Amino acid sequence: MSDKDALMKEKNELIVKMLEMQKKFIDLEHGKGIDPGEYYYPPAGSPLENYVEEYNQLAGKVNKLAHEIKGSGHIH
């Protein structure tokens, strides 16, 4: 497996995880609704605890990998 293939595999795995997170969020939203305050400031034990941070970290990694795959440089 080439470096590019390994990067693409990692990027695809992260995207799958992000899609799974989105599905869980939508299920939660349809099930009981989401209070905007709970989304941005979830209480301890909330299903949304760390959601925004984790999702944003994954998105950042996907973005960085996409640039590495394309060869357009590194984003810090």
Q: pLDDT tens-digit profile of 15-46?
A: 999 999 999 989 888 887 888 788 888 889 88
Nearest-angstrom CA–CA distance, 30 and 61: 28
Residue 25 in domain: yes
Residue 11 in domain: yes
Q: Which residue has the tokens 């760390």?
A: 50
Q: Is residue 57 over pLDDT 70? A: yes
Residue 56 in domain: yes
Residue 75 in domain: no
pLDDT cut 70: percent of the chain above it: 95
Residue 19 in domain: yes
Domain that holds residue 26: 3-70
Residue 76 in domain: no
Q: What b/e readout covers 6-32, taking b as 16+ CB neighbours within 10 angstroms? A: ebbeebeebeeebeeeeeebeebeeee
Give the total number of structural domains in the chain.
Answer: 1
